[in-house]
Structure 1
Amino acid sequence: MKPEMLDKLGPFREEALARGIPSDDVERWIGIARPCATLSEARNGPVVAQFGGPLLLPVDTPDPRFPFVASIDCAALPEGVTDLPLPPDGQLLLFAFPDNEDIASMGEVVYIPAGAAVEERAKDAHFFAEIPDYREVCQAFPQGPLTIAAANVSLPYHCWIELPDEPWSAPLPGHPHSEQLLAAWLDKEEDITTPGALQIGGYAWDEYTEIDPVAKAASLAAEQPGEDWVLLAQWDPGISGREGTSVHWVIRRDDLAARRFDQVQVGVFWNP
């Protein structure tokens, strides 16, 4: 990560040290910081993504099972704005429905290479049409261009890992003060980062905060989740009736580099 990005964590470092956390542990925590792009609907600047709009897919791509959320123009993202091995060009299309089914991934990602021939498709997926407010929620999905609100630096929003037996949870491996470090980060985050409607890369968060949302979404994979799952994107819908919801598209770093977007898992946090 660029030194100027790490410099932004100065207020966090000061707060963590003031809480009595040993300096070595603070620096070790800063060492796992990740860059991320936060996108906004209300900023001037180059458009890098779009909420909604026409759904354009290659002819041989099956109709998606989930509603269309957003498209990301990979070539428009500044170099180094994330640490993800994203495609250098083409479009990433994000699909999801903000409802927390714990037994199944709640979305998908389609990658469209630059120059691919596409056709317009209907956006009205019916996978969860039996949900009473399904259509109302879909109609409330945001629409419009997205620009980069900030190139942010991101620290974990979680402090525990789950264990199969008592005591059922433990601090993050290698970080015995993870709970205190998280508290310091949450105290100073607003002074360091800029919020937005869609986040690409970085660490995921939800209202629960204690367990990594990426790990929870990765657990939806048929095989053992393993390691090196990363947050591809997070969306906080802000839709009436789905307040407090966050949607997480996650993928193994190797699968992302190999463009295996069929391996994406999508987790949704919602506490109705």
Structure 2
Amino acid sequence: MVGCIIKGMTSQTSLHDLARTHLPADMAARWLTLLRPGAGLAKAEPGEPLAGRLGGAPELPEGEEWPVWEGQGPLAFVARVDCAALPVHVLDIPLPADGTLSFFYFDGQIDDGEAFVAPDEPETWAGARVIYAPAGAKVTERPTPAGLEAYPEVPLTARLEPTAPDIWHPVVERTVGVDPRGEGWPSAFTDALYDHSAGPGHRVGGHADPVQNPVEFEVAHGVLGKDVRWDDPRVAEEAERWVLLAQFDTDDDADMMWGDCGALYWLIRPQDLAERRFDRAMCTMQCC
């Protein structure tokens, strides 16, 4: 049985209502095709099914060492997600049907924030890792390395929720046929979307909810290289090749603060996800 609370219909109705209220009918119909299901993760209340947790101590497969950024130090354990407890039959990305995903990030505890993971600096990519433990794999709980303090453990439950692309994501203009920066785009709809958003939150799958600009652009530019201009059409093309694997927001209960009230985002190409090539996932952080 999937450990997921099937909620989110109110939010979905709200997104439909927003589009139909603020967009012409033809634009609304096209924009609504962009909605995608995501698994929102929230602190589990007593009795709710568990889908993972923030913080605590990770359980890693035998033979898998604690992730280390060579020359910098060990990564902090951020979260674990139980794939069997997610609505993988509803999500539109090829997540494993079972097993666990563990997320690690170099959070600045070791060097007081001097080193920073950035998509356009390949030498920093080792500062973020995703480790997959297949179902049935023998795992052991690992102690937190010296120099790191484990984040407080927060149990998570999953709630199915509709997600919309950031208004500046290239898929919006391509699908709707109107540039959101142009006069043909109703600014009231943009304002209504921002008012509707409660912030990034924790999520697996669906669209990323960026703090600033689309995170897909940051990853695409990093993959293409610094010599490529941001306005090069190849950046937008590459951005559409990446999907959100997971995002983890600033969280008071877990004592997690990413920059100034920011969030961590892991993106991956669908083909790499289907092949379980989590070593090819890319991470970026955005904050206010």
Counterpart of 2:205?
201
CA contact (8 A) 1:217 1:248 kept: no
Confirm whether residue 145 of structure 1 aligns to residue 162 of structure 2.
Answer: no
2-structure distance, mates of 1:56, 1:18: 48
SS in 1 for 2:104: strand
2:279 equivalent among 257, 262, 267: 262
Confirm whether residue 119 of structure 1 aligns to residue 122 of structure 2.
Answer: no
2-structure distance, mates of 1:93, 1:254: 20
What amino acid sits opposite 1:183 in the alignment?
A: D
Confirm whether residue 25 of structure 1 aligns to residue 42 of structure 2.
Answer: no
| CA RMSD of superposed structures (Å) | 3.1
1:186 equivalent among 174, 178, 194: 194
2-structure distance, mates of 1:89, 1:111: 10
Per the TM alignment, residue 29 of structure 1 is displaced from its structure 2 partner at its CA by 0.9
Per the TM alignment, residue 64 of structure 1 is displaced from its structure 2 partner at its CA by 0.6
SS in 2 for 1:94: strand
2-structure distance, mates of 1:171, 1:86: 24
2-structure distance, mates of 1:83, 1:203: 11
1-structure distance, mates of 2:31, 2:263: 24
CA contact (8 A) 1:200 1:234 kept: yes
SS in 2 for 1:268: strand
Inter-CA distance 222–124: structure 2 relative to 1 (3 Å threshold): farther
Confirm whether residue 71 of structure 1 aligns to residue 80 of structure 2.
Answer: yes
2-structure distance, mates of 1:56, 1:144: 15
Per the TM alignment, residue 8 of structure 1 is displaced from its structure 2 partner at its CA by 5.1
Q: Deviations over 1:182-213 (max 9, x none)?
A: 433223346xxxx78521111112332xx311
Inter-CA distance 92–125: structure 2 relative to 1 (3 Å threshold): farther
Per the TM alignment, residue 72 of structure 1 is displaced from its structure 2 partner at its CA by 0.9
Counterpart of 1:132?
none
Per the TM alignment, residue 67 of structure 1 is displaced from its structure 2 partner at its CA by 1.0
Confirm whether residue 237 of structure 1 aligns to residue 250 of structure 2.
Answer: yes
1-structure distance, mates of 2:79, 2:21: 41
What amino acid sits opposite 1:228 in the alignment?
A: R
CA contact (8 A) 1:36 1:199 kept: yes
2-structure distance, mates of 1:109, 1:41: 21
Inter-CA distance 155–240: structure 2 relative to 1 (3 Å threshold): closer
2-structure distance, mates of 1:213, 1:96: 17
SS in 2 for 1:147: strand
Per the TM alignment, residue 108 of structure 1 is displaced from its structure 2 partner at its CA by 1.2
SS in 2 for 1:158: coil
Q: Deviations over 1:75-115 (max 9, x none)?
A: 11134342221111111111124575432334110001111
Inter-CA distance 46–171: structure 2 relative to 1 (3 Å threshold): closer
Where do 5+ consecutive residues of structure 2 fail to align? 1-6, 69-74, 108-112, 182-186, 226-233
Counterpart of 1:131?
none
CA contact (8 A) 2:39 2:87 kept: no
CA contact (8 A) 1:159 1:182 kept: no
Percent of aligned pairs with the same amino acid: 31
SS in 2 for 1:172: helix
What amino acid sits opposite 2:273 in the alignment?
A: L
TM-score (structure 2 length as normaliser): 0.71
Per the TM alignment, residue 61 of structure 1 is displaced from its structure 2 partner at its CA by 2.0
Inter-CA distance 8–54: structure 2 relative to 1 (3 Å threshold): closer
CA contact (8 A) 2:49 2:157 kept: yes
What amino acid sits opposite 2:193 in the alignment?
A: W
CA contact (8 A) 2:103 2:129 kept: yes
2-structure distance, mates of 1:89, 1:14: 35
Per the TM alignment, residue 268 of structure 1 is displaced from its structure 2 partner at its CA by 0.5
What amino acid sits opposite 1:157 in the alignment?
A: D
Where do 5+ consecutive residues of structure 1 fail to align? 127-134, 162-169
